Structure 1
Amino acid sequence: MADPVLFHHASSLLHDPGPHPEQPARITAIEQAMAARDWLGFERRQSPAASRALLEAVHPARLINGIHELCAAGGGAIDADTVVSPGSWEAALHAAGGAAAMVDALLTGGARLGASVHRPPGHHAEIERSMGFCLFNNVAVAARRARDEHGVDRVLILDWDVHHGNGTQDVFYATDEVLFASIHQSPLYPGTGAAAETGSAAGEGFTVNLPVPPGSDDAVYTSLVEHVVVPLARRYAPRLILISAGFDAHVDDPLAQCRVTDAGYATMSASVRALADELDVAVGVVLEGGYALGALATGLVATLEVLGRDGPVAAPQLPVHELADGYRRRHAAPAG
């Protein structure tokens, strides 16, 4: 079995939105923490820039052209939260290209674990709108790459960023080719992700929103993954698992009020790894948010360490939290 692979690119440091929580130091903090652990045995690879075809599998040409033109003109604000600089174009191309290259490595290169560690993040980027610090939807590009290039017709995307992945939901809301499960604080930006949002047309039932209240901790998050997401995914039988890995639900993060710890991320990762072992599928991690630099770095290290363990990983034995039990009952009908 091939070593796990980590895709990165120096252009992530060129995306400069000015004084902003989504800052270049996020990548520096991660790299320092990973280097201190000898990169956890990951093979580091330079990410390619995404092709126009890769981007247009998710976004229309007018959105892509608009970002390019704004960056080329010196940068500016897309909205109150989303700002680009001249270097943002290259950073965004490599963020999307790295996610797609990770999928290629997982599906044809023999690796069972991959990580795409770039900025800007992507899960708020809707089909026709960049927003929420995000330009292109990197995890959606990755999922579409799995389908278009490798014929993978069922992908699980688990989004545990504290903010709802409205963009990823937008891309896959009407298809059963992706089971999208999002655990997110509510109320919180962007205000989407109600439990009643479950998909449309062929996608009905394949969007699983699990909003949690402020203050939700390890017990809530880990139970939702193990007792709601994993059973639904088992029924769905994805051929690839992708994690939209934000670390802003961490107790130290300044932008939200959840209380997840490094141990919580490790336990959620153990649930995912045990599921992947059971289904004999690969896992890809795509970096999203996380704005306390230390917590971002240690949370990602905890996640990748568990996902990359040698030998089988046992599913954690967890009590069913009251909130998870309610969602489990709501989603009792099989997905798929």
Structure 2
Amino acid sequence: MENIRVYSHSACLSKENGEGHPERKERLQSIMDSIQSLDTINIDFKEAPLAKYKDVNRVHPQSYLDEIFEMIPDDGLVGVEKEPYADTLLCQNSKEAILRACGAGIGASIDLMSGNFKRLFCAIRPPGHHAETTRVNGFCFINNAAVAARYLQSQFDINRVAIIDFDVHHGNGTQEIFYNDESVLYGSIHQYPLFPGTGMESEKGVGNIFNAPIDSGTTSEDFLKIFNEKILKNVDKFKPEVILISAGFDAHKRDPLAAINLDSEDYFLLTQAIVEIADRHCSGRVISFLEGGYDLLALSESIEAHFKGLSL
């Protein structure tokens, strides 16, 4: 059984989005409570460092970061996006939360390549997979997984990175960032049509993008079959040296923002299948990043199943 290191930070709890917003601090609190209750898995906790601008700039230009941080209010909330999706918000504590969330992936990358841990989880918010190179989107400011991928490639002898995204919403940001980069495979299974409206199978990049859009009401059995056939088989052929997971838990049947019918235990099966590929091709190296998931009970149960899969 593998030990798991968890990166998080209290600053990630200080990011406010206002009453009634689905991306709220209770999500992270629920997850941390569940992780801490897992007495059958050896879990090590570490504070996420602040991401350095030079590391973020491998994905996002400094002018983009400056524009975001200059909008941070002294009090209250400021919406960053234009209508109809003006729900990506900044509060006075946003800067540290954003940089800690990104820094978690950088810290995890260093630990991964040191050989101390093969499995790491970034328990963070705000999430990242909707953030494009120069566009805030879908609660996301910095693409945490993308920055980690670039960090691994620039600082270590890593050439091929696979990013597997099972959030119910397509990771338009991750796809946009790596669309013309054959060194990074991006595979996403997601409900379609649904926000953000991208992720058709015809979006293939340079042969490195694999999208598996699924219908509203998709069952667990069909989800797992499609995930294997359209995502994991292509990851297996790619033979990655590191696997990153955009781990959203909003394909759960309880989630209020989508209509897919996964049960909590299905996240064990999803994770187990990813870990098998990691063991085969990249010495078991996996970093998982929290993305979506908006029902607290579903999050609590699903994260336990995810960790049981990671620990294999």
Whether the TM-score (by the shorter chain) exceeds 0.5 is yes
Paired-residue identity, %: 36
1: distance between equivalents of 2:139 and 2:16? 11
SS of the aligned residue for 2:71 comes to: helix
**Unaligned stretches of 5+ residues in structure 1:** 310-336
Aligned 8 A contact 1:221 1:264 in 2: no
Q: After superposing the two structures, state which structure 1 stretch, 243-252 or 109-118, moved more.
A: 109-118
2: distance between equivalents of 1:39 and 1:53? 39
1:215 to 181, 201, 217: 217
> Offset at 1:73?
4.3
Give the ranges of 4+ consecutive aligned residues of structure 1 lying more than 3 Å apart after TM superposition: 72-75
Q: Select the structure that is richer in helix.
A: 1
Cα-to-partner distance string for 1:95-127 (whole Å, 9 max, x where unaligned): 000011111111124311000010000000000
Q: Does 1:21 align with 2:22?
A: yes
Aligned 8 A contact 1:221 1:268 in 2: no
> Offset at 1:214?
0.3
1: distance between equivalents of 2:114 and 2:225? 33
Paired residues for 1:190-229 under 5 Å: 190-199=196-205, 204-229=206-231
Cα-to-partner distance string for 1:59-96 (whole Å, 9 max, x where unaligned): 11121011211125444100212011011110000000
Q: After superposing the two structures, state which structure 1 stretch, 218-227 or 266-275, moved more.
A: 218-227
Cα-to-partner distance string for 1:275-333 (whole Å, 9 max, x where unaligned): 11222230110000000011112111101111112xxxxxxxxxxxxxxxxxxxxxxxx
Cα-to-partner distance string for 1:135-177 (whole Å, 9 max, x where unaligned): 1100101111111111311011000000000000011000011
SS of the aligned residue for 1:71 comes to: coil
Give the letter for the 1:33 counterpart.
S
Aligned 8 A contact 2:212 2:230 in 1: no
Tell me the equivalent position of 1:281.
284
1: distance between equivalents of 2:71 and 2:95? 9
Tell me the equivalent position of 1:306.
309
> Offset at 1:2?
7.5
Aligned 8 A contact 2:168 2:250 in 1: yes
Tell me the equivalent position of 2:136.
130
Aligned 8 A contact 2:254 2:295 in 1: yes
**Unaligned stretches of 5+ residues in structure 2:** none
Change (3 A) 1:164 1:45: same
Aligned 8 A contact 2:211 2:231 in 1: no
RMSD (CA atoms): 1.4
> Offset at 1:17?
0.9
Q: After superposing the two structures, state which structure 1 stretch, 218-227 or 116-125, moved more.
A: 218-227
Q: After superposing the two structures, state which structure 1 stretch, 19-28 or 223-232, moved more.
A: 223-232
SS of the aligned residue for 2:110 comes to: helix
> Offset at 1:39?
8.2
2: distance between equivalents of 1:105 and 1:223? 33
Q: Does 1:155 align with 2:161?
A: yes
2: distance between equivalents of 1:243 and 1:45? 19
Tell me the equivalent position of 2:48.
47
SS of the aligned residue for 1:167 comes to: helix
Aligned 8 A contact 2:2 2:119 in 1: no
Tell me the equivalent position of 1:245.
247
Q: How many aligned residue pairs are there?
A: 305
Tell me the equivalent position of 1:8.
8
TM-score by length of 2: 0.94
Aligned 8 A contact 1:5 1:45 in 2: yes
Aligned 8 A contact 1:225 1:271 in 2: no
Aligned 8 A contact 2:34 2:300 in 1: yes
SS of the aligned residue for 1:257 comes to: coil
1: distance between equivalents of 2:2 and 2:187? 28
